[in-house]
Homo-oligomer: A and B are copies of this chain.
């Protein structure tokens, strides 16, 4: 039976292997997408998600996460939540409620506590040291670094498509800043009959284009996954350059309802894909005019994570 999974950045490789195992064994797309994201949330090597996430301006690690079920269009999300192990698991638990699917700040923390979600201090001494070094040099930062959201999209044998996301957001962000990652339509979107999409990069620019929903609209209008993703990112980048003066890094992954992937990006962007008919592989996507060029990593890509 057909299944497929795609994840953002090299950091999603191990999670992608776990998700593939679930899907190969006729598991569920929701379980697969969430397992992929959880793997990254728990990995201390990746500093933009979960444990060892990057702190805000006050030195606190506040996390965003989202989940969407393409069968029901139900979604769950948390924004600016501190002190818990897995924003994506909390987000998923909110998806099937009648109301109150998106919770932020202290309210989200009270909910997570009431449901006995595992607590964790995600700030380590090494990351705090990095924060102390950078916070007074913030004007010298050429751009916010570490804005790398993990996103997984999964299609299972039943045809269910799900999206799951998690991030610590922009390094040195203002307290209470929420990006695109927990927002259905901006950071993710999933409809099992059409396709699913999820974005990573500078959330403020992704939100200006409601980018994941834009890709969904293009798939619905008949574009291929590759065409939908690459044209949406290209056009948003061009629009923002023209009308707002600049467009920062944006990358996007999508899966159509048959599990074929598409990628759009305005920067070098590694992603990981596996499917019933394709072994797990890390690829690099590069912007190429208004399209995208996909290739296996070469020596010049070693510094991309």
Which residues of A pack against B, CB within 8 Å? 71-75, 79-80, 98-108, 110-111, 144, 170, 173-179, 183-186, 189, 202, 204, 207-210, 213-214, 216-217, 221, 239-240, 243-244
Contact = CB atoms under 8 A, between A and B. Distances in A.
B103 A106 contact: no
6 pairs of A and B residues whose beta carbons are closest in the complex: A107-B176, A185-B210, A105-B105, A107-B175, A210-B213, A100-B174
A227 to B, nearest CB: 16
Contacts of A80: 104-105, 107
Contacts of A239: 73
A102 to B, nearest CB: 5
Number of copies: 2
Nearest to A246: B98
A267 to B, nearest CB: 17
A184 B213 contact: no
Contacts of A210: 184-185, 189, 210, 213, 216
A99 B204 contact: yes
B103 A177 contact: yes
A264 to B, nearest CB: 16
Contact of A101 (B108, B204, B217): B204
A16 to B, nearest CB: 27
A30 to B, nearest CB: 15
A213 B184 CA distance: 11
A79 B213 contact: no
Chain B CB within 10 Å, residue with most, of A74, A80, A185: A185
23 contacts: A73-B209, A73-B239, A73-B240, A73-B243, A75-B207, A79-B79, A79-B104, A80-B104, A99-B174, A99-B177, A101-B207, A102-B178, A102-B207, A103-B176, A105-B106, A106-B175, A106-B176, A107-B174, A111-B176, A185-B210, A210-B213, A210-B216, A217-B217
